Amino acid sequence: MLTPRRLTAYIASISVILAVLVQQVVGWGGLSHFDRTALETARDINANRDIFSVTVMFGLRGIILTICLPILGFLSWRRKSWFPIGGFILVLLFETGIAGAIKMSVGRIFPYQLRDYFDLMRIDSGQMAFPSGHAANALALWGYTAWYLTLNNKKWRTVAYTIVGIGCIVVGISSWLIRTHWPTDLFAGYAVGAIALLTVTCSMRALNVNLSATSRR
């Protein structure tokens, strides 16, 4: 369990990383040039879209909700506790709110919309590429589900976290290869997801979620 001091340090560090990414995108920093190089590399690779358009769906909110809500809803009903489904909804609202606010503030175009080099610098309130919602969803929502389902089974926690980590990587690589997001969009999405996940899960720990999770009636 994270101590309050360590949690604060983690959240502060991730927030600084997120702020740097925002500055780089808005201020046309060095990472924007990296994004351009990554786009050209993805074009050269010319990956099979039929495959990666499917694997990127691991971060699609609709699919995650379709799978996780029934499971966590059943656990809430079975254990007579709001923690399983309530915590998931809190993570969802938190990461969606942060990502949505940044998307509207930055207004970055998607890589597949790029027409010329200077388009990468265009900031338009009608565009919402940054940060990646898929990346945030994959880390925050799958991460919460893995955390809760292994709350009292440390043996499987490493396995569950490894699967979620691999899934997040697959979403990022897939999105880059089919050019639906810039790398910095993905990094920022992971940062948003991590902030939401850490904040909610640690808050639930502080409310003694462990006892609620093990109750049987």
Q: What is the CATH number of the domain that holds 98?
A: 1.20.144
Residue 73 is inside which H or E element, if any?
A: helix 61-79
Find the domain containing 137 and state its range.
4-214
CA angle 126, 131, 134 (to 5 degrees): 105
Task: Determine the residue type at 179.
Answer: R
Question: Using one digit for the tens of pLDDT, what is the confidence trace for 152-171?
Answer: 887 888 999 999 999 999 99
What is the number of structural domains in the chain? Answer: 1
Tokens of 148: 């809760």
Alpha carbons 213 and 161: distance in angstroms, whole number: 19
pTM: 0.89
Give the residue carrying structure tokens 């880059």: 176
Tokens of 1: 């369990």
Question: Using one digit for the tens of pLDDT, what is the confidence trace for 26-75?
Answer: 888 889 889 989 988 998 998 888 899 999 999 999 999 999 999 999 99
Pick from 20, 134, 154, 151: nearest CA to 81:
151
